[in-house]
Amino acid sequence: MAIEEMELLDMTFDKKYLKEVLCQLKETKYFYPQPATKIVNNVKDVFTMTPDEDYKNMLDELKELAEHVKLDTSSVKEGSIHFAKEDYRKALDDVTKEVKQYLDIKEEFVTERGQNQAAYEILEGLSNTELNMDEVKECEYMEARFGRIPRRNKDKLDYYRGQSIMFLDLGEDAKSVYCLYMTTKAAILKVDNIFQSVGFEEIEIPDFVHGRMEDAKKELLEEIESMNASIRKADSRLEGIRDAHEEELLKMFADLTFAARIEEFKVFVVDYQSKYAIYGFVPVRVAKDIKKAFEKYNVEYQDLPADIYGDQQIIAPTLTNNYPWAKPFEAISKVKQSDHVDTTLATAVLFILVFALMLGDIGLGVVLVLLGLLMRKKTSGKMINVLGIASFVGGLIYGDAFYSIHLYPSVIPVADAFSYQRFINAILLLIVGQFCIGKVKAIYNEQSMINKVFSIKGVVGIVMGLAVAAYVAIAVDTTWHVSYLPLVVVLVLGIVLNFIKKALDKKQ
């Protein structure tokens, strides 16, 4: 398959069509716009455009608001650019103000509930001791602290066992250890510092907690339930706001999402004061279709060579037109825009034939296909899938599973015994095949006929490489004893021809 021939398309249009052109640009496939900052050459009175961040900021605010009121925006369709930004700003501020009123109330209740739940955990732990809450609070010569520390830091307190500290473990949950520590009033500051170093968080015990422990716990539970009821009421009010403004908010979300995306395309706009222009690479074969898509906006076109701005590092993307099953192998062929030939198809065929005919096995094919499915979002996963199918087909031909289970006689003649030589031969064939493909590509890209023939990267290089490969294959795969003289002659002759080529280059 071929590399797409690219051109740089200059589209100039009236300023009044800016939004419409940007919307069309967003929908246009195979148009690769270039940043305006690369096009503008410090020419006086020629400017670039900066996206309006207001749309993005408003969208971020709306996303946060939607999260607070549990507004589902997942099914919102694409919006429109035809709206007044000022109207959306006011509407968003009004709804946000209304939501914030109940959100602040809810957060206050959530904070208070958390404090009461922590205090309940403390009381729960004290229930299993003989300590009296009132006596602890009213102790004249001792200071007490209730709180919690991260579980991971509990062992660090072992280093302070020699200190005058009374530590009581009151229970723990998934993250914290609830505890009480007491010490003398003279040592309290030092002990407070010790516990702060291990992440101690003090828990205030409400003033109403006193007397019998069970009564105090019951009172705390009632307070917690009261907080829960208040939180549910606040949630209900927030849901009411959502229901009242749902249609308005969803339309706003769709329009702002679309507008923010369109604003991103302003970085490609060159401002010539009287008109705007956008420059982008397009494949020559679809240039007419792209021009037709913009024709209703009175766009003026100029077709430019793809390398016209090469000195400004504006490089055309490399596009190839390969079959879907061959496309993953572009990662191996590594085609560049400067290449004159796309070797992806040849690379794909080489790998597929090697995996089918030399590594063909039903078991290997199934394993590779499963692995490819697990990695299906990556290019390498798609390549593994293709090779797995090739190996599976080869396995059907040979009737083998995992190279040890013979399900039925092979369709084509093959050695009965499995040998690791098959893997070695497959690797050698891939290396030689890739070498030949690379050399053919280099010869095709080379302009000089002398270099095509006499260069190490040309025909001479291919002959030398194949000669070495042939001798390696004979040494690895056979018991033949052959003379190395022909190989030496080929290599020496290749080196001599290469020196002659360099001498000719210097004379030219």
Name the pLDDT band for 415 (thresholds 50, 70, 90): low
CA distances from 333 to 1, 263, 326, 349, 435 (A): 12, 37, 11, 12, 11
Name the pLDDT band for 337 (thresholds 50, 70, 90): low
Question: At 302, is the secondary structure helix, strand, or coil?
Answer: strand
Here the tokens at position 87 are 């109207």
Look at residue 48 in the predicted model and tell me its pLDDT.
Answer: 92
Name the pLDDT band for 419 (thresholds 50, 70, 90): low
Q: What element of type H or E holds 479? A: none
Nearest 10 degrees: Cα torsion 308, 310, 315, 316? 20
Q: What is the spatial distance between Cα 199 and Cα 178, in angstroms, rounded to a whole number?
A: 12
Three-class DSSP labels, 371-382: HHHHCCCCHHHH
Q: What is the spatial distance between Cα 413 and Cα 213, in angstroms, rounded to a whole number?
A: 88
Q: What is the spatial distance between Cα 445 and Cα 455, in angstroms, rounded to a whole number?
A: 13
Terminal alpha carbon distance of the chain: 36
Q: What is the DSSP string of 135-168?
A: HHHT-SSEEEEEEEEEGGGGGGGGGGTTSS-EEE
pLDDT at 93 over 90: yes
Q: What is the spatial distance between Cα 200 and Cα 179, in angstroms, rounded to a whole number?
A: 9
Structural domains of the chain ordered from first start: 6-46+272-312 (3.30.70.120), 55-105+228-257 (no CATH), 133-210 (3.30.70.2750), 327-360+401-507 (no CATH)
Report which of 367, 357, 421 is spatially closest to residue 394, judged by C-alpha positions. 357
What's the mean pLDDT when you consider all of the chain? 86
pLDDT at 405 over 70: yes
**What residue has token string 């605010």?**
61
Name the pLDDT band for 211 (thresholds 50, 70, 90): low
Please state the rounded mean pLDDT for residues 221-237: 91
Q: What is the spatial distance between Cα 340 and Cα 46, in angstroms, rounded to a whole number?
A: 36
Q: What is the spatial distance between Cα 462 and Cα 456, in angstroms, rounded to a whole number?
A: 8
Look at residue 333 in the predicted model and tell me its pLDDT.
Answer: 86
CA distances from 383 to 144, 373, 386, 390, 426 (A): 67, 10, 5, 11, 17
Q: What is the spatial distance between Cα 365 and Cα 384, in angstroms, rounded to a whole number?
A: 10
pLDDT at 51 over 80: yes
The amino acid present at 391, given as its one-letter code, is S
Here the tokens at position 418 are 């499995």
How many separate helices (H) and strands (E) can be counted in the chain? 16, 12
Here the tokens at position 445 are 């890209």
Q: What is the spatial distance between Cα 236 and Cα 227, in angstroms, rounded to a whole number?
A: 14
What's the half-sphere exposure (Cβ side, CA atoms, 13 Å) at 174? Answer: 0
Of the two residues 451 and 244, the one the predictor is more confident about is: 244
Here the tokens at position 469 are 């490969």
Region for residue 336 given its phi and psi (left: phi exceeds 0; alpha: psi -120 to 50; beta: otherwise): beta
Lowest mean pLDDT among 32-36, 179-183, 405-409, 486-490: 486-490
